[in-house]
A = this chain, B = another copy of it.
Amino acid sequence: MHHPQTASRSGFSREELGQAASDILARLRTHAPRVHCITNAVAQNFTANVLLAAGCVPSMTLSPEEIGPFVAGAQGLLINLGTFDAERREATEIAVRTATQNKLPWVLDPVYIERAPPRAVFARELIGRGPAAVRLNHAEFSALGGSTMTRENAIAYARAKHTVVALSGETDLVTDGERVATVANGHALMAKVTAMGCAGSAILSACLAVESDAFRAAVAALVIMGIAGEHAGEKSEGPGSFAVAIVDALHSLDGPGLSARAKVD
């Protein structure tokens, strides 16, 4: 059932993927894509600041009256299931419909679906609506896919659902069911700041706005966040200053520094 052969036929070397991340970052700076985020109440402010620092233009409304025009005018869309209430459910329905009509790629971040069964059910329905990518952690993958998170299960899941799976962990894993890459950038304090993963998913939505290959976009997003985290780790004394420093780092990150530091395999 698993296809290591196929998987290694990615045709990308580490250098090429590092270079792709650098190119995609440059495009974010140039195109300043509008990224609409349906995201949780805890993450909204931090996510907006992360997107702005990377050169993007965030919007966050959940109002059913407004979300159609906002999504129609955006180049990227994030559906994050944290603090998922009726308002966000309705907003998601309109947003995904609008994105589909406009052929706008979107990202699903199924936060904490292992903690609330109704949220997991909704996440599974959303997978059927064709997200370009799903970003999640191991516990969320198990709740979503019904199987333990392993490299093989992730590849099989991505292939079956025709999506890119971007799994965060000590080493991140990205697969579209054929190609597989791991990203080893990052810093331990990223797990101690709320909404760090949510903000990473927003960056992935932004990368999809400027890169049509969702696999490359996902690798780029993980490299960008991971390396920004490494820079932040050098300047911070704990999770408070780390959250500030990663926003600074995203703002000053440049392409050459990115490709030199990327740990992609």
Interface positions of A (Cβ within 8 A of B): 40-46, 48-49, 52-53, 58-63, 65-66, 69-70, 73, 82-87, 112, 115-119, 192-195, 236-241, 243-252
Contact = CB atoms under 8 A, between A and B. Distances in A.
Nearest to A65: B118
A237 to B, nearest CB: 5
Q: Most chain-B CB neighbours within 10 Å: which of A87, A192, A240?
A: A240
A118 B41 CA distance: 23
Contacts of A239: 49, 52-53, 247-248, 251
Q: Most chain-B CB neighbours within 10 Å: which of A112, A117, A195, A247?
A: A247
A245 B247 CA distance: 14
A248 B238 CA distance: 4
B41 A60 contact: yes
Looking at chain A's contact residues, is the secondary structure mostly helix, strand, loop, or mixed?
helix
Nearest to A87: B85
Nearest to A53: B239
A194 B69 contact: no
Contact of A63 (B86, B241, B250, B252): B86
A243 B240 contact: yes
B247 A238 contact: yes
Nearest to A232: B240
Contacts of A243: 49, 240, 244, 247
Nearest to A117: B69
A251 B240 contact: yes
Contact of A252 (B115, B194, B238, B244): B238
A234 to B, nearest CB: 12
The 8 A-B residue pairs with the shortest CB-CB distance, nearest first, are: A240-B247, A238-B248, A48-B194, A63-B85, A238-B251, A66-B116, A240-B244, A240-B248
